[in-house]
Amino acid sequence: MSTAHFDPSHTDWNLIRGFVAVVEHGSLTRAAEQLGLSQPTLSRQIAELELAVGAALFERVARGLKLTSAGDSLVDPARHMMTAARVLGMAAASQDHGLTGTVRLTASEIVSAFVLPSILAELAQRHPEIQIELVASNQISNLLEREADIAIRMIRPTQSALIARHIADWPMGFYVHTSYLAHAASPVPLTATDDVQKLARYRWIGYDQSDQLIAGFRAAGMPIERSFFAFRSDNHLVNWQALLAGVGIGIGMQWLAAKHPDLISVMTEQPLPKLPVWLTTHRELKSSKRIRTVFDFWRHHLRIS
C-alpha cells in the first residue's frame, strides 16, 4: 500500500495524538487510559489513520504492539506535530488575560480525595467564573504536552520549561487499626528492631505491580519479597480504606492518620522519608491570568503540616 496520498493537513489531529500515545505506551489499553478514551475509540482512530496512510502502523506481538516500518517512519514527524501544536497552544494560552474559563489540575488519588475538596470549595467561592477539571491519578501527567495546566507532584520536576514551587514535606508513618490488633495472631507491639520473620506474622498492606515499598523495606535492612504483603493494590485509595477496615498494617501520611483516632502508630523508631509536595506549571502558562490565579491560590492553601 502506498502513502503517497496521505495529507496530514486534512487529518484529524486526534488521530496523530492517539498514534503517538500508542507508540509511547506500547499498548492500546494504556494509551487509551492516558488519553481518557475507551480502547475501542482509540482502536478506531488508529484504524482510521492507517486507512489515511494506506499502510498498517502496528503489528501485534506477545507484549503488546510493535511498530511496522511504515509506522516507524511516521513517529518523528508525528512528534514534531505534537511539539508544534503544544507551542501553538501555549502561545494562545499566554494571551488569555481573563479569569473566565477552565483550568485543568492533576494530583494523586489521595491528595485529590482528602486534600483538594475543601480548597476547591474555597476557590469556587472566590472565583466562581473559573471551572476546574481534576485528573486524580498517580501517573505523572505531561505538562509540556498540556495534559494538565497545573500539577501537584510528589517528586521535583526537572524540566527547565516548568515552574515548580516546593509547598511542604509530609511526614509518613506505619499504622494499624485497633480492630486488626484485636484479632492479630501476634499482638506483641512492633518495633523497628524486629526481624522480618516477626514482622511477617502480621498482615501487611502493599503495592501490586509497584516495587516502591519493597525497595524501601530493603533499603532499611529488611530483605522482604512481594509475598510479604498479604494484601496488594496499586490504588492508594483502596489501600487506605483497607487500612481503616483493619485488613493489616500499612503506610500513611501522618496528617491523614491523625483524623482517625482508631489508627495506632507502630514502628515509630523506623524513620520514613517525608513526602515532598511540589506545585508545578509551565512557564508560558504563568502569563495566563486564570492559571496564575489558580496557581497562586493553591500555593498559599496547599500547606498541611
In whole angstroms, what is the distance from residue 156 CA to residue 153 CA? 7
In the DSSP assignment, the letter for residue 249 is: B
Total Cβ atoms within 10 A of residue 285: 23
How high is the pLDDT of residue 85?
A: 67
Grid cell 498540556 — which residue? Answer: 146
Q: Indicate the helix (H) or strand (E) that contains 142.
A: none
How high is the pLDDT of residue 192?
A: 58
Residue 273 near residue 261 (C-beta atoms within 8 A): no
Strands 162-170 vs 150-153: parallel, antiparallel or unpaired: unpaired
How high is the pLDDT of residue 9?
A: 61
pTM for the structure as a whole:
0.65
Residue 26 near residue 65 (C-beta atoms within 8 A): yes
In whole angstroms, what is the distance from residue 238 CA to residue 257 CA? 15
How high is the pLDDT of residue 142?
A: 56
How high is the pLDDT of residue 8?
A: 63
Grid cell 475507551 — which residue? Answer: 38
How high is the pLDDT of residue 190?
A: 66
How high is the pLDDT of residue 286?
A: 65
Residuewise pLDDT in 10s, the chain (305 residues): 444 466 666 667 788 888 988 888 888 888 888 777 888 889 899 999 988 888 899 988 777 788 999 888 888 888 888 776 666 665 655 555 578 888 989 898 999 999 999 999 999 999 999 999 998 887 766 554 557 889 898 888 777 678 888 998 999 999 999 999 887 766 556 665 666 777 888 899 999 988 888 988 888 788 889 999 999 999 999 999 999 999 999 999 999 999 999 999 988 887 888 999 999 888 766 678 888 899 989 888 887 64
